[in-house]
Amino acid sequence: MKERAMNILRTFFRLLIAVLLMPVRAVRSVLRSILRIVLWFLRMARKFFVSTWRQIAATPGRVWRSPVQTFRGLIRMRNWLLAKVEYLENESKKWQRTFTLLKSPYSLLLKMGFSPQMAVGLIFAGSTVGGGVIVNETILAEKSFSAGDAGIYNAPLDTPVFYEEKFNTLRLDLGSTPIGVVEIDSISLNSYTGSALPSGETNVIHIGGMPTVVDPAFTETFLEVGTLEADRWRCETLTITNSQVNKLIVKSMTSDGESISAVAGTPRDRGINGGNRADDMKTQSGTYDMLKITSASSGVSGQIDYLKISNVYSRAGGCLIDRVKAGTMIISYGVIGGDSDLATKAFTIATSVIYKSFTNEDNVELAMAVPAVVDITQ
């Protein structure tokens, strides 16, 4: 009994102590929670201040690097764009060259190794058998300016309005339709065995309009050109007459005597527009007796924005630029002459040529012999 009373007493005292200690434990728990909260806020504040300080410290460097990085990004974008443009341009040129070869049988045959005479035989003769070569006339019979075929062309038509085998003049007649570009490159004129000028002609090159005196019913015409470039011509004589040029440039010409007598004036600068104008006309590597580009319709001056005739070899006739109204005319790197006499003037710019500005540089006189005949069968 006594022992049971003692157990009850112990239990009572334990409960009493637990009740007395409860406020102390609660306070300790609350204090611990407050301390944890304070420490968390201190850590957050430390992180915030450290991060803010780093941002402030890094700001000058970012401000400095930002234009540089932007510029480098623009460079990378530019290089990427230019690489794509160059790739497309190269592919376009390859396709253009491919289609030019496909529609230019004469040039294609020359590049395949055939001689000019053999190529002409394959094109004109219907078929040629020899060395295992058989070509049908239906494949290669069509004539065109781009293929370098002789004939009379009404610009901008690529096919001739007149052609026959005995007619070997390349003639381009301009009318009311403006042309953007006409380029003729690497041609031979009246310089091969058996060639001769057409009846009544004295010039192997005739560029320009036509006078009234040809026919009383014909009204004088001019050839209006934004830029006319005569580059690397070999002529026995070169004469420029009856023309108006805003910028006349004559440079690096070699002539067997020269007479440059152009007169200062006020011709206007010009370029040829016309909106949806005709396609460009280009040809190369032809052999003709004569090249003629004229305004052939009475009272209608032909218009070409850019006319370039380059790398021309001619003989047994003169080269004439007559009745041209040009924004810019460039005569350069030509070799003119053939009588070995500096007293006679092989290169002439007449007083009927009027210019606003004139560049005349690096032109020399040199006696020279007549251009040699070329054997195109070799």
User: Could you tell me whether strands 258-260 and 347-349 are parallel, antiparallel, or unpaired per DSSP bridges?
Assistant: parallel
At CA 212, angle to CA 208 and CA 217, rounded to 5?
130
Q: Splitting the chain (378 residues) into consecutive groups of 10 residues, what average pLDDT does each group show?
A: 70 67 65 79 82 73 66 82 83 71 57 54 47 39 83 88 87 90 94 85 94 81 96 96 97 95 95 76 91 92 95 94 97 94 94 97 93 68
Asked if residue 334 lies in contact with residue 238, where contact means CB atoms within 8 angstroms, the answer is yes
For residue 224, the SS3 value is strand
Q: Would you tell me how many other CB atoms lie within 10 Å of the CB of residue 360?
A: 14
CA distance 106 to 23: 115
- Which amino acid makes up residue 111? K
Cβ neighbours for 172, distance < 8 A, ≥ 6 positions apart: 145, 153, 155, 182, 281, 292, 293, 294
Give the separation between CA 38 and CA 228, rounded to whole angstroms. 89
Residue 326 CA to residue 228 CA, distance in Å, equals 7
**What pLDDT score does 91 carry?**
81
Global pTM value: 0.64
